[in-house]
Amino acid sequence: MAQSIKLDPVDLQILAALQNNARISNKELAATVDIAASTCLDRVNRLRETGVILGYGVKVDPEKLGRPLQALLYIRVQPHRRPLVDPFVEHVLTQPETRELYHLTGPDDFLLHVAAENARALQRLVLDELTAREEVALVHTNLIFQHWDGKPLLPPTE
């Protein structure tokens, strides 16, 4: 298991601010956490170098991109063995509807978050790209009505 690094309150403020707005300038970030801009840049670089910050991204609205129908698909693969799992994962990640894929414990092996054009496109994905594969034993589909983001992720408090 990866070991966490020691973060002080300023590091935590930096992480919270960047998770709320990754486009904030270093100057604005430094002012937000009340430190010098050069110190802030050093701290952000240390957080990147130690792997706390993995990268920066852009959130998009699937509906505005013509994919308003979002769903969570619970998928069971049998047999659940690496020679079948690895190609399955590669295949799923090539699908344009794929947003996120999780490998799970429990009765289902994978949770797939997708964004489709409409019900017909979702049906095509399930029937032609998932259940048509020999290793896929079950796909259980739940439509997403609404989504909320959580707060910035910070380490547990002691």
Element (H, E) at 120: helix 119-124
* 52 touches 7 (CB < 8 A): yes
Side-chain half-sphere of 4: how many Cα atoms within 13 Å? 7
Q: Which two tokens stand for residue 145?
A: 């009505």
Fold of 62-143: Alpha-Beta Plaits (3.30.70)
Distance CA(139)–CA(108), nearest Å, equals 9
* Angle, CA 86 vertex, CA 98 and CA 142 arms, to 5°: 35
- The pair phi, psi for residue 41, each rounded to 5°, is -60, -40
> Where, residue-wise, is CATH 1.10.10.10 in the chain?
9-49
- Residues sharing a CB contact under 8 Å with residue 20, sequence separation 6 or more, in sequence order: 152
Just give the CATH number of 9-49: 1.10.10.10
pLDDT of residue 158: 66
> Where, residue-wise, is CATH 3.30.70.920 in the chain?
62-143
pLDDT of residue 1: 45
Distance CA(47)–CA(53), nearest Å, equals 6
Q: Is 102 helix (H, G, I), strand (E, B) or coil?
A: strand
* Angle, CA 33 vertex, CA 31 and CA 38 arms, to 5°: 65
Per-residue pLDDT of the chain (158 residues; tens, 9 = 90+): 456 789 999 999 999 999 999 999 999 999 999 999 999 999 999 999 999 999 998 899 999 999 999 999 999 999 999 999 999 999 999 999 999 999 999 999 999 999 999 999 999 999 999 999 999 999 999 999 999 999 999 998 86
